[in-house]
């Protein structure tokens, strides 16, 4: 009976160690789209980057665009935006669930920098909503108010709360003037234990076996 209880204790410890997970974090910065010119780089879509697929709800004639470094809509680093207003859906290519940690956001155009001459009143807050679809089917959302205090586009970092265990997330870019996004930080969790953890489990089971053999003599 004592041996059986001891075995159960060691087995429980082994299971707890095997459940140790590895977290892999990726930052999608869209630098592969960087252009040192004036104007947009247009993307037919879907757009794939770092193991994730971006799909636009309104993909005609293009899904996405990215402002060149000398374009007035450039927000300090290469970012992505929808070509037409609408939603941007993002999911992992392998179907693995993930956590959405943070993102940099900025309006596409502001005040005097609007290349189409359609100035939006500076000082009026611009809001966008981010939605997350969890593995259990529930939806989380977070409303983000973007700064609008000058005539410049400025990317600002925002942390997301509760966006864990997602199968997909969406950024709402339907309101004028639209939103551009950059430095999307995502984290996937793998149930495969580290080799060192497996070694510890094997060592523990070996010691328990040797101890049991010794007690039986």
Please determine, for residue 213, whether its predicted confidence score (pLDDT) is greater than 70.
no
Q: What percent of the chain has pLDDT over 70?
A: 67
Tell me which of 202 and 97 has the higher pLDDT: 97
CATH number of domain containing 64: 2.60.120
Average pLDDT over residues 1-5: 51
pLDDT of residue 168: 98
Of the given ranges (37-41, 43-47, 149-153), which has the lowest mean pLDDT? 149-153
Tell me which of 30 and 205 has the higher pLDDT: 30
pLDDT of residue 187: 97
pLDDT of residue 65: 93
In a domain, 10, yes or no: no
pLDDT of residue 208: 59
Of the candidates 110, 106, 157, 103, the one whose C-alpha atom is nearest the C-alpha of residue 130 is 103
Tell me which of 35 and 111 has the higher pLDDT: 35
List, for residues 55-80, the tens digit of each pLDDT value. Answer: 999 988 899 999 999 888 888 899 99
In a domain, 214, yes or no: no
DSSP 8-state class, residue 201:
H
**Which phi and psi angles does 22 have, rounded to 5°?**
-110, 135
pLDDT of residue 115: 47
16's enclosing H/E stretch is: helix 2-18
**Pairing state between β 22-28 and 64-67:** unpaired
**Domain that includes residue 49, residue range:** 25-187
In a domain, 85, yes or no: yes
Torsion-angle region of residue 65: left (phi > 0), alpha (psi -120 to 50) or beta?
Answer: beta
Rounded to whole angstroms, how far apart are CA atoms 155 and 130? 16
**Which phi and psi angles does 149 have, rounded to 5°?**
-115, 0
Q: Exposed e or buried b for every residue in 35-58, given b needs 16+ CB within 10 A?
A: beeeebbebebebebeebebbbbe
Asked if 144 and 155 count as a contact pair (C-beta separation under 8 A), the reply is no
Tell me which of 8 and 130 has the higher pLDDT: 130
Q: What is the rounded average pLDDT for all residues in the chain?
A: 80
Angle formed by the axes of helices 2-18 and 195-216, nearest 10°:
170
In a domain, 94, yes or no: yes
pLDDT of residue 45: 85
In a domain, 17, yes or no: no
Two tokens, residue 2: 């004592």
28's enclosing H/E stretch is: strand 22-28
Average pLDDT over residues 103-125: 63
Coil/strand/helix, residue 180: strand
* Total of domains in the chain: 1
In a domain, 6, yes or no: no
Residue with the two structure tokens 């997350």: 132
In a domain, 195, yes or no: no
Please determine, for residue 152, whether its predicted confidence score (pLDDT) is greater than 90.
no
Of the given ranges (21-35, 65-79, 137-151, 199-213), which has the lowest mean pLDDT? 199-213
**Model pTM score:** 0.75
In a domain, 208, yes or no: no
**Chain centre to alpha carbon of residue 207:** 43
pLDDT of residue 121: 54
List, for residues 181-197, the tens digit of each pLDDT value. Answer: 999 999 997 655 555 54
């Amino acid at each position: 009976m004592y041996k059986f209880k001891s075995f159960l204790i060691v087995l429980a410890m082994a299971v707890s160690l095997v459940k140790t997970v590895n977290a892999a974090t990726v930052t999608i910065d869209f630098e592969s789209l960087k252009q040192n010119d004036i104007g947009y780089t247009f993307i037919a879509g879907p757009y794939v980057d770092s193991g994730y697929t971006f799909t636009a709800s309104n993909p005609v004639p293009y899904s996405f665009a990215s402002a060149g470094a000398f374009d007035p809509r450039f927000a300090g680093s290469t970012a992505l935006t929808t070509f037409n207003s609408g939603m941007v859906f993002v999911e992992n290519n392998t179907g693995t669930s993930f956590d959405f940690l943070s993102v940099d956001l900025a309006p596409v155009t502001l005040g005097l920098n609007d290349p189409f001459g359609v100035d939006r009143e500076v000082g009026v807050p611009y809001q966008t909503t981010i939605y997350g679809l969890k593995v259990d089917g529930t939806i989380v959302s977070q409303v983000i108010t973007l700064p609008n205090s000058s005539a410049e586009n400025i990317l600002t970092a925002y942390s997301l709360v509760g966006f864990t265990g997602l199968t997909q997330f969406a950024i709402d870019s339907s309101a004028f003037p639209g939103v551009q996004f950059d430095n999307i930080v995502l984290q996937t969790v793998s149930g495969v234990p580290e080799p060192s953890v497996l070694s510890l489990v094997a060592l523990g089971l070996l010691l328990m076996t040797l101890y049991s053999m010794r007690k039986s003599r």
